[in-house]
Chain A
């Protein structure tokens, strides 16, 4: 019986169209779907999950696929919904759980008793142009991005790295422009601090 099953799966995976299913879709469109997701969420683990969920959802709904659109277009359409769900969830969960904690993280940088002046003044950065030439610098920037809360990483990556417009991002994530500006401000405060601690600020360790 087990042998039968494995034979069957093999037959499916080796089959060329018209017998299609999640395994063939993965083989034919996996990279394209992953790339699409990655450039919207900027987290490889999340992008992998989104591809997987898309394939499963497509399999459950494949009776509805009438071949009016190309298979990849159909799959990308499903993926798009999964990404929007993810971005909404990221923002909603933050709104519910961590908005206060996140505001604290910003407040920690400013001294309220001194008219919101910097608690720790941004240090001068030596040779920032030189940093751009160093592959190590890019690794650190990537690490700093990965350390951001999910909704900040997604917002910064989509608008700043990928160059998605503010209105497109807000439409996708179902947030207001003001909400996005607040998020980007927080992301920049954190990224700036992270780069200073890990790249620019070695000569002046914080006391």
Chain B
């Protein structure tokens, strides 16, 4: 059974976070041999992987702090002692 691009993209993604099984590695490599689009995808998510870790290294050096506005808002809220309405995790 041929590996589809959807499956290959999933294996390429997984390979960045876990060791693929032998069967999976063969499936991915065989697919990449014949598919330029997935080869490109693999390179691009590798780039993304690298960029993300650089971002982490850069951010670790900077100090993330509460903005004065947030500090004021939280102060006002905790003075009231009331719970804020829950923010939905998807409320972006």
Interface residues of B in 7-31 (CB under 8 A from A): 7, 9-10, 13-14, 16-18
| Pair B4/A110 contact, Cβ less than 8 Å | yes
What's the Cα separation between A146 and B91 when bound, in Å?
11
What's the Cα separation between A124 and B47 when bound, in Å?
13
Interface residues of A (CB under 8 A from B): 9, 13, 21-23, 26, 30-31, 34-35, 38-39, 43-46, 48-49, 51-53, 55-56, 59, 86, 89-90, 93-94, 97-98, 106, 109-110, 115-118, 121-125, 128, 131-132, 138, 141, 146-147, 149-151, 156, 159-163, 166, 177, 180-182, 184-185, 188-189, 191-192, 195
Residues of the B chain whose Cβ atoms lie less than 8 Å from the Cβ of A124: 40
**Residue from B45, B63, B74 in contact with A35 in the complex, judged by beta carbons closer than 8 Å:** B63
Residues of the B chain whose Cβ atoms lie less than 8 Å from the Cβ of A123: 40
Knowing A52-B74, A161-B53, A185-B9, say if A122 contacts B87 (CB, 8 Å): no
Residues of the A chain whose Cβ atoms lie less than 8 Å from the Cβ of B18: 166, 177, 181
**Residue from A30, A59, A106, A149 in contact with B74 in the complex, judged by beta carbons closer than 8 Å:** A30
Interface residues of B in 58-92 (CB under 8 A from A): 59, 63-67, 70-71, 73-75, 77-79, 81-84, 87-90, 92
Knowing A110-B6, A189-B9, say if A49 contacts B52 (CB, 8 Å): no
Knowing A110-B5, A116-B5, A118-B37, say if A188 contacts B48 (CB, 8 Å): yes
| Pair A49/B84 contact, Cβ less than 8 Å | yes
Residues of the B chain whose Cβ atoms lie less than 8 Å from the Cβ of A52: 73-74, 77-78, 84
| Pair B55/A138 contact, Cβ less than 8 Å | yes
Q: Tell me what chain A mostly uses at the interface: helix, strand, loop, or mixed.
A: helix
| Pair B84/A53 contact, Cβ less than 8 Å | yes
Interface residues of B (CB under 8 A from A): 2, 4-7, 9-10, 13-14, 16-18, 37-38, 40-41, 44-45, 47-49, 51-56, 59, 63-67, 70-71, 73-75, 77-79, 81-84, 87-90, 92
What's the Cα separation between A46 and B53 when bound, in Å?
22
What's the Cα separation between A182 and B7 when bound, in Å?
11
The 8 listed contacts between A and B (C-beta, < 8 Å) are A30-B74, A34-B66, A56-B82, A94-B90, A116-B4, A118-B38, A150-B90, A185-B14
Known contacts A160-B53, A188-B45, then 9 further A-B pairs from the complex at CB < 8 Å, ordered by chain A residue: A13-B75, A31-B66, A44-B70, A115-B4, A116-B4, A117-B4, A117-B5, A161-B53, A191-B48
Residue in B closest to A9 when the chains form the complex, CB atoms: B79
Knowing A116-B5, A161-B59, say if A35 contacts B90 (CB, 8 Å): no
Knowing A23-B75, A26-B74, A161-B52, say if A185 contacts B10 (CB, 8 Å): yes
**Residue from A51, A56, A86 in contact with B89 in the complex, judged by beta carbons closer than 8 Å:** A86
What's the Cα separation between A189 and B14 when bound, in Å?
12
